[in-house]
Amino acid sequence: KGLPLNYITVSIISAIIGGLIFSSTFAFINPILNKDVSSNTTEVASVPWENKENQDKNVQKEPNESNMVTPKPVKQNLEKKELSVPEIAKKVGPAVVGIVNKTQIGGFIRQTVEQGSGSGILISPDGYIVTNNHVVDGATDVTVIFSNGKKYEAKLVGKDAKTDLAVIKIDANNLPYANLGDSSSLEVGELAVAIGNPLGQEFAGSVTVGVISALNRTIKIEDKELTLIQTDAAINPGNSGGALVNSYGEVIGINTIKMAAAGVEGLGFAIPINEAKPIIKDLMTHGYVKGRPLIGIAGRNITPEIAAMYDLPVGVYVVQVTEFGAAERAGIRTGDVIVKFNGKLVKTMEELNALKEQHKAGDVVEITVNRQGEVKTFKVTLDEDK
């Protein structure tokens, strides 16, 4: 029989929990907005990678014989210079920071203890840092440590459990920051450099080298599915939230998990930066991912076996209904069994969520339930998941 494979997140867990390998926790926590980021603003946050793209579009080139004709497409990017690994480390290394997650424990006498650490990437000169949600999950205090040892206290701008991304901010300016690249142009076999803090601050700024091993790997963690970049560049506990960099010194992925089992090596995974960019932008602007739909129920799958045992239909049993939420407003109750969504059969929560994700907040959908043998259909106006 083959060895069992376990997916682990790559942040360090404290001695209270023990061990260096652990499962990621993706529990949703309502985002706390930084005081400088207004949830009511109608302006779009300025993000460095968009500014750079706009600047490139506005560059006027002098006319010459080569650009007066339509050039043939070429594979090589002639506008960028490939860097050596030491050059990549010097360019991006200062923008990769350590993040220490602290929480309070105790009853009457409370104390703050470190519960884990990971990495983060500075993405702007005024202190915005992107990392993994699980690196800052449950923190009451977050400390950012630079490669030179300087420390800052950070505030949470926003976090998203579904994509395992978070944005924090420190109060500083003129900081080194990383350029974000284009993960859609990646090819299997090209250079990949991972920069982060494996095993904590003692090994801060570690650089490991490998290749892009595969693209669009679907990894399921608990009830979440992530589509990730696979690399053999060494990723270890503490690398979570760190940078995966291409040969031009651009961040093309955010290191997040690895596969660990006896005899298994070189299976690390990163969130593609193109998938992360819109999430980061929403977190910076709103503190959450805007427009994501929400039904407002907690459900449990009724399998054919359970259905036969309790004389229920196969579907999603509504365990809880959010007070004043979309489902409750429409008339759905605890104990209902959801059997259809917009006329399509629903047998599991996974199927229900997949159908829901095809819509946006504010859409009106029809949800059909079986209520003690009576079939009812409700029109539900989807809420926004904040």
Separation between Cα atoms, residue 213 and residue 191, nearest integer Å: 10
Name which of 127, 86, 99 is nearest 254 in CA terms.
Answer: 99
Separation between Cα atoms, residue 228 and residue 275, nearest integer Å: 9
Name which of 64, 68, 63, 136 is nearest 97 in CA terms.
Answer: 136
Contact predicate 175/125, CB 8 Å: yes
Contact predicate 132/164, CB 8 Å: yes
Q: How many CB atoms lie within 10 A of CB 347?
A: 18
Name which of 170, 69, 187 is nearest 121 in CA terms.
Answer: 170
Name which of 201, 224, 221, 250 is nearest 88 in CA terms.
Answer: 250
Q: What is the 3-state secondary structure (H, E, C) of 248-278?
A: CCEEEEEEEEEEECCCCCCCEEEEEHHHHHH
Enzyme catalytic residues: 134, 164, 240
Separation between Cα atoms, residue 293 and residue 31, nearest integer Å: 16
Structure tokens of 97?
């920071």
Residues in the chain, how many?
386
